[in-house]
Chains A and B, each alone.
Chain A
């Protein structure tokens, strides 16, 4: 995902000299070429996320389009108040790029996990939150973010995420992407779990369930119209995200469903509200949180059998 992002950024930076990348001393093997080609549009500011976020606001106040980049927790939570006051309150054209969503840095331990970012950022007015689900969506989301005149958070995985779409889908900020419609079950997945959603859909289909998959690359503003439509056309909805069960896609969809009055069967699938005790790489950490494909399938099948209370 990082490379799809940097490719788009490269293309933009060439055309638009307002683009200015501020890295927080991260991006080894990603930014070297950019720094070489566009030295007047790049700064490795150092390990000072608060000041570099404020600095980006200052750059934007002069008309630049700053992009700040670091690992998810450091570029969303360490500097949360700068994002709130300096960027969102002033409604400045700054792009916040977090790399390593979910358990991408699983073995680095909890300090480096990106599991609360959507939840905290979703509370901020003016902020658009983009969580593309595969490298194709990353390219489209990067383009859309750079064209959007206002604050955007772009949540990226790390490396090696497969493409789920067969070709570039239609992408618009605020719109979900229906990959397949499902009468029995609809999975709404986002970010690093789009591919997991695809795997789960396949397995449920093998069980004879008419299962659909929707990618939700924009968490804010949320595609409420699509969610309501899915609720009316599918018997059950499951949200799937590599993020805390609190505050992310699941919460956002739950808010829509609760207020719409639709009686659809619904469950949030994500990282439970506890610090994972064990340590390991991404897939190991997912399994520890019952987020391996087969575990998710079992959870859904069990849930489908439960009566609505």
Chain B
């Protein structure tokens, strides 16, 4: 089973790198760091219907770190929400896929995001409505560590804790690099799990590249009845891309060169 997931992850990484190369676009590192999380979610955890993307009983995924939309697009395409050829239009004039994911740009994208700190509040609204209406869908919000600098993220965290939204799951892609530096140097989030716990969430920390850990953790939702769940996923920014950008600030900005992409794809093909 995991061999299969690893193969899908390799394909998604390849697509991310190709999108980045074609469009010469930024935001590659953060797309690469959440690949295993997104693959596990869309292939094993979420109740989704690629041919009926608006089915009312679907689980909702709010991709709040929308600058890393390449990961979302590549996973949705792999899962069959739309023709993978559409990926070729990423950030291209007249293409369907903008640099920041926009609601309904392609089937499966639930919300428009891009300005940081907007996703968790919207996810709270969806989860709250599900609770009031006694629906049993779940809401997942994928956050970057950088957007945990935003006050609105913590406003939403307060709301979710107060209203005991145990149908809500936040997953933080904690690659520890934000726009211009390491989070510990720019604005340290630690003690990170404790912050969520003190907002009345239940938190788990995992290796965000390890499918065994991801699947085991996400099969235990909610972590505690009556509490929203947060997964702090320790990840590596730029993993699987050009070696010189891995875990470097540059992974946010530098697209792969043609040599780098050739090497990366050769490595990914071995998986």
A59 contacts chain B at the CB level, 8 A cutoff: yes
* Interface residue ranges of A37-77 to B (CB < 8 Å): 40, 43, 45-46, 48, 50-64, 66
CB distance from A65 to the nearest CB of B (A): 11
Once the chains bind, are B121 and A43 in contact (CB under 8 Å)? no
Once the chains bind, are B112 and A48 in contact (CB under 8 Å)? no
Once the chains bind, are A59 and B128 in contact (CB under 8 Å)? yes
* Chain B contact surface mostly: helix
Once the chains bind, are B103 and A51 in contact (CB under 8 Å)? no
Cβ contacts under 8 Å, A82 to chain B: 118, 121, 152
Once the chains bind, are B126 and A61 in contact (CB under 8 Å)? yes
Candidates A50, A59, A60, A85; contact of B114 at CB < 8 Å: A85
The residues of B with any CB-CB pair to A shorter than 8 Å are 102-103, 110-115, 117-118, 120-130, 132-133, 151-152, 155-156, 158-159, 162
Once the chains bind, are A56 and B118 in contact (CB under 8 Å)? no
Also in contact, A58 and B123, with CB within 8 A (given A51-B152, A64-B129, A82-B118): yes
Number of A interface residues, CB 8 Å?
A: 28
Once the chains bind, are A89 and B129 in contact (CB under 8 Å)? no
Once the chains bind, are A51 and B128 in contact (CB under 8 Å)? no
Once the chains bind, are A50 and B155 in contact (CB under 8 Å)? yes
| A–B Cβ pairs within 8 angstroms, 27 of them | A20-B129, A51-B158, A52-B121, A53-B121, A54-B120, A54-B156, A55-B121, A55-B124, A55-B125, A55-B128, A55-B159, A57-B111, A58-B121, A58-B125, A58-B126, A58-B127, A59-B128, A59-B129, A61-B111, A61-B126, A62-B125, A62-B129, A81-B115, A82-B152, A85-B113, A86-B118, A90-B111
- Total A-B residue contacts, Cβ distance less than 8 Å: 97
Candidates A20, A40, A46, A63; contact of B159 at CB < 8 Å: A46
Once the chains bind, are A50 and B121 in contact (CB under 8 Å)? yes
Cβ contacts under 8 Å, B132 to chain A: 20, 40
Once the chains bind, are B112 and A51 in contact (CB under 8 Å)? no
Once the chains bind, are A45 and B111 in contact (CB under 8 Å)? no
Once the chains bind, are A62 and B130 in contact (CB under 8 Å)? yes
Cβ contacts under 8 Å, A20 to chain B: 129, 132
The residues of A with any CB-CB pair to B shorter than 8 Å are 20, 40, 43, 45-46, 48, 50-64, 66, 81-82, 85-86, 89-90
Cβ contacts under 8 Å, A81 to chain B: 115, 118
CB distance from B92 to the nearest CB of A (A): 21
Once the chains bind, are B122 and A54 in contact (CB under 8 Å)? yes
Candidates A46, A60, A61; contact of B158 at CB < 8 Å: A46
Select from chain B the residue with minimum beta-carbon distance to A39: B132
Cβ contacts under 8 Å, B110 to chain A: 61
Once the chains bind, are A58 and B124 in contact (CB under 8 Å)? yes
Also in contact, A54 and B121, with CB within 8 A (given A46-B159, A89-B112): yes
Candidates A40, A50, A62; contact of B126 at CB < 8 Å: A62
CB distance from B48 to the nearest CB of A (A): 16
Select from chain A the residue with minimum beta-carbon distance to B119: A54
Once the chains bind, are A50 and B125 in contact (CB under 8 Å)? no
Alpha-carbon separation in the docked complex, A61 to B122 (Å): 9
Also in contact, A48 and B125, with CB within 8 A (given A54-B152, A61-B111, A62-B133): no
Select from chain B the residue with minimum beta-carbon distance to A58: B125
Once the chains bind, are A59 and B126 in contact (CB under 8 Å)? yes
Alpha-carbon separation in the docked complex, A90 to B115 (Å): 14
Also in contact, A86 and B159, with CB within 8 A (given A57-B122, A58-B125, A59-B129): no
Once the chains bind, are B125 and A54 in contact (CB under 8 Å)? yes
Alpha-carbon separation in the docked complex, A64 to B130 (Å): 11
A-B pairs, 4 with minimum CB distance? A58-B125, A54-B121, A51-B155, A48-B155
